[in-house]
Structure 1
Amino acid sequence: MILDDLVAATKKNMARRQEQVSLADLKAQIEQAADQRPALVLNQKLAQAPITVISEIKQASPSKGQIVPREAFDYRQIARDYTQAKVDMISVLTEEEYFKGSLDILKAVVATTDVPVLRKDFTIDPYMIYEAKAAGASAILLIVAILSDQQLTDYLALAQELGLSAIVEAHDQDEIQRAVQAGAEIIGVNNRNLKDFTVDFGNTQRLRENIPADIAVISESGIQSRSDVLQLEQAGINGILVGETFMRAPDKVAEINRLRGFSHDQD
């Protein structure tokens, strides 16, 4: 199962990083850093209209392989393009083995833009939450499928303590219930099944009906057109996270405007 492989790779790479930078060192970095970005910024944005746009930076994925040629993966320029398009948040993949990401890329993006940044990774340990904060992230991802109920509760509390927004990712009704019980304020509904990587765009709309109205919902994966976004808006979705569609677009600003409805192309 690919999800098991991703978690195993995450554990291995995290152990390597822990040998280089201790938890005490991370906490010291956080203490010393001037926190210039507002706490829990995503929570505030999602409560407003229009639909919040989170644009992703990634060069590869387990399902699609190399999305952008390595030599063409200019993540700083992509961050500048996203900033020009006035996206609400930039998501940066930091998983190293399958997505070819890194914390160094996240740090470079944070240094390039004043847009809040989400660290998107397979968070399996509090160490990774401290890493995200020390690297300048404003938000983290917590995936229900790889965490126990106790971990979900504890990690949400730690994120709150550090001033980080937390997107709790779920794929089915059982995971939605677990996210709600853990105290999630933001639920990301993944339209991609992380066990077999199939995509069902209707997943978000179906599950939205079972999520309390006071919990913000972000739709992830499979969003390609303005009509997709309109469907999600009509279903009461608060935000979208878009990766591959933007990464493959030659003109990222134009593509973001198209999905937002700022052009005549309504698909």
Structure 2
Amino acid sequence: MNPADILKKIIATKHLEIKAQEDQREAIKAQAYAVGPTKKDFAQALKAQSGLAVIAEAKKASPSAGVISPNFDPVAIAKNYAALGAAAISVLTDRDYFQGSLDYLAAIRKEVDLPLLRKDFIIDELQIHEARIAGADTFLLIAAVLTEEEIRNFLAIGRKFNMEALVEIHDEDEAHKALAAGAQIIGVNNRDLRNFTTDLSLTGKLSKFIPNDKILVGESGIKTGKDSRLLLDCGCSAILVGESLMRDPQKFKELQEGQV
């Protein structure tokens, strides 16, 4: 697959997934409201850490890395992250491109008490309702694939469930879009989703556009304590780490403390 086409293909697949569930939309919404708001405060969890709060990701595979964990056990992975001191856990739920599942999130919810983030390509409120049913306490919004109005609307829907979304940006225009929509937690994805190249300096470049009262999260390409120190020094209070921790969970303390 041409890297430039991956994001377009993923979003096209999401539209098909939503269409296939259209007749269940109202039932899914009703079930989400029956579950009710979360009592786990994702935003607070990202503030209540020394060093960097780590959102540790349960991630079986990705289009760029292929299969990362052939013997993927999401509950065991999440329990280990919790024991290591993760502030929250991100769970990949995209099936076709990341080999994820909402079932993984639901299974982790039964065993782990940390805030859980649904990591997927959210393009419809139905996916937010699904996330809450599965036990998610927050979800990812990707500014590159959403309008300002969509971000604003999805943030508002999330807040009805006390779910404060992580809004992901990759350039200055997306930073302004996210802020105008009212995002409180802003993640800078150092990986360009259009071609999967990574530039760790991007967080520092975009941090100057993010007011101090927002929570800044560094995402992608974080492999060493030097990397996380760079993000800490440019104003991040949290980092989201997937592949590095999946391959070597013992890097956790190094990444959390920004050890060089």
Question: TM-score higher than 0.5 here?
Answer: yes
1:97 equivalent in alignment to 2:93 = no
Unaligned runs of 5+ in 1: none
Partner of 2:35: 33
Q: Which amino acid aligns with 1:30?
A: A
Distance in 2, Cα, partners of 1:167 & 1:226 = 23
Shift of 1:167: 0.5
* 1:207 lines up with 2:211 in the alignment: no
Equivalent in the alignment of 2:194 = 195
Q: What is the aligned counterpart of 2:12 among 8, 11, 29?
A: 8
Aligned CA distance change for structure 1 residues 68 and 18 (closer, same or farther; 3 Å): farther
Alignment check: 8 A CA contact 2:46 2:87 kept: no
User: Alignment partner of 1:105: what SS?
Assistant: helix
RMSD of aligned Cα (Å)? 1.6
Q: Which residue of 2 aligns with 1:224?
A: 223
TM-score, length of structure 1 as denominator length: 0.91
DSSP 3-state at the match of 1:141: strand
Secondary structure, in 3 states, of the residue corresponding to 1:132? helix
TM-aligned CA deviation for residue 18 of structure 1: 4.3
C-alpha displacement of 1:134? 1.1
- Cα distance in 2 for partners of 1:49, 1:57 equals 20
User: Matched residues in 2 for 1:220 and 1:10: separation?
Assistant: 22
Partner Cα distance (1:75, 1:18) in 2: 29
Separation (CA, whole Å) in 2 of partners of 1:241 and 1:118: 11
SS in 1 for 2:139: strand
Question: Higher mean Cα deviation, 171-180 or 231-240?
Answer: 231-240
In the alignment, the residues of structure 1 paired with residue 87 and residue 49 of structure 2 have an alpha-carbon distance, to the nearest angstrom, of 11
Matched letter for residue 166 of structure 2 = I
CA gap of 1:78–1:18, structure 2 versus 1, over 3 A, is: farther
| Equivalent position of 2:256 in the other structure | 260
What residue in structure 2 maps to residue 58 of structure 1?
A: 59
> What does 1:108-119 correspond to in 2, within 5 Å?
108-119=107-118
Secondary structure of 2:205's aligned partner: helix
Q: How many positions carry a matched residue from both structures?
A: 255
Whole-angstrom CA distance in 2 between matches of 1:154 and 1:32? 21
CA distance change for structure 1 residues 182 and 259 in 2, over 3 Å: closer, same or farther?
A: same
Question: Are the counterparts in 1 of residues 118 and 139 from structure 2 also a CA contact under 8 Å?
Answer: yes
In structure 2, what is the Cα distance between the partners aligned to 1:106 and 1:12? 22
Q: 1: CA distance between counterparts of 2:161 and 2:209?
A: 29
Larger mean CA deviation between 159-168 and 8-17 belongs to 8-17
Q: Which blocks of at least 5 consecutive residues in structure 2 are unaligned?
A: none
| Aligned-partner Cα distance in 1 for 2:155–2:190 | 22
1:122-169 CA-to-partner distances (Å, cap 9, x unmatched) read: 000010011111111001101111111111111111111121120111
1:79 aligns with 2:78: yes
* Identity fraction in percent: 40
TM-score of the superposed pair, with normalisation by structure 2: 0.93
Indicate conservation of the 8 Å contact 2:102/2:134, yes or no.
yes
